[in-house]
Amino acid sequence: MKLETVERVLDASTLKTKQSNEVRRNDIAECILRLDKITAFDVAEEMPETGRFVIVDDYEISGGGVVVEALADEHSRIFESTVRRNEKWESIAITEEMRAERYNQKACMILITGSPDNTLRKILAKKLTEKLFHSGRFVYFVGMANLLYGIGADIRGIGEDVRPEHIRRLAEIGNMMMHIGLILVVSAQDISENDVRILKTSLNDRGDRLITVWTGNTITTDLAPDLKFSENEIDNADEDIIKHLKRNSFIFGFGFNNSLG
């Protein structure tokens, strides 16, 4: 959870507004909180029992409050579209577990990113894809240009205004690729925590199979990647990612050509 905005601070004894933009001990405040993941709650005025919350920090209760309003954001729209997609999803008798057993791998998305002026992400993503393929894995590579000039070609505009929709469409590609049991390797620049939240929201129960990798000496966004490689570590980064996949049981056994993955 993140404190995004302090709307106003009240004096606890008089309930009058104080001239302050921070919440101190024993203060009462109206705040906007951004949650890290989808959470069920109600507005306190409509359902008091589930409209209250406490804030726990390192096993200590640090505060509490009531929910006044749920603010719609990009993630709400994406979550609603994900629910509709799942309701209409056409399934067959071949399950993901059956595919995992057949392919000796668990489907996942490996998102390799870095700053815009750093081409290491593309080099590593393609090298990793080729290494996995030649070891017998079912793997596919997607560069963001493939998406921008393909299924995203109808999106008008540039920059942050349209980025969430491009990321949502990337997640839909990932959802289908992972549904059929593939390992999807993606190269995209400047991935942020907000991008990751959009991806995980759209991937739904497959969100825990998103692996983020930063390439370059300095992380230039607020991303907390699962793996990070400096410029001096890139040569062996593909092997390190494969070791990570093995440790976390994304790949196991032998590939389809009986070579050890």
**Statement to judge: residues 48 and 169 lie in one domain:** no
Task: Tokens for 67, please give them.
Answer: 């929910």
What's the one-letter identity of residue 176?
Answer: M
Residue 218 sits in the same domain as residue 123:
yes
Whole-prediction pTM:
0.75
Check: CB of residue 143 under 8 Å from CB of residue 187: yes
Query: Does 124 share its domain with 196?
Result: yes
At 260 the pLDDT is 43
Point out which residues pair with 212 in neighbouring strands. Answer: 111
* pLDDT tens digits, 191-240: 999 999 999 988 887 889 999 999 999 999 999 999 999 999 999 999 99
Q: Is residue 77 part of a domain?
A: no
Please determine, for residue 160, whether its predicted confidence score (pLDDT) is greater than 80: no
47 and 9 assigned to the same domain: yes
CATH code for position 166: 3.40.50.300
Total number of domains constituting the chain: 2
Torsion sign over Cα 66, 68, 74, 80 = positive
Residue at 252 is within a domain = no
Bigger pLDDT: 102 vs 62: 102
Give the pLDDT of residue 255.
65
| Pair 98, 59 in one domain | no
The CATH number linked to 47 is 2.40.30.10
Domain boundary among 50, 66, 82: 66
Instruction: Find the domain containing 27 and state its range.
Output: 2-66
Question: Is 258 within a domain?
Answer: no
Say if 164 falls within a structural domain.
Answer: yes
pLDDT tens track for 105-143 = 999 999 999 999 889 999 999 999 999 999 999 999 999
- For 33-79, the pLDDT digits (tens) are 887 766 778 888 888 888 898 988 888 888 889 998 887 666 677 77
Q: What is the pLDDT of residue 259?
A: 46
Q: Check whether residue 41 and residue 99 sit in a common domain.
A: no
